[in-house]
Amino acid sequence: MYAADPRTVTIEEFEFRPGGNHSLQVEMDDGSSMRFHGEFREIDPP
């Protein structure tokens, strides 16, 4: 399956901590867009 490269990725929210939210929007060359969001449940140190 072929996936087109995104034109623009916009980070809308990024709270890097347990319980923090993240959200980003991806705009494609054909004008469509997708939004991804979630919550950081656990963060392990490297």
Q: Using one digit for the tens of pLDDT, what is the confidence trace for 1-46? A: 556 677 899 999 999 999 999 999 999 888 899 999 999 999 998 8
Asked whether residue 46 is assigned to any structural domain, the reply reads no
Q: Which domain holds residue 14?
A: 6-39
Number of domains in the chain: 1
Tell me if 20 sits within 8 A of 30, measured CB to CB.
no
pTM, entire model: 0.69
Q: Say how far apart CA 16 and CA 20 lie, in whole Å.
A: 6
The pLDDT score that the predictor gives to residue 30 is 86
Asked whether residue 1 is assigned to any structural domain, the reply reads no
The pLDDT score that the predictor gives to residue 7 is 83
Asked whether residue 24 is assigned to any structural domain, the reply reads yes
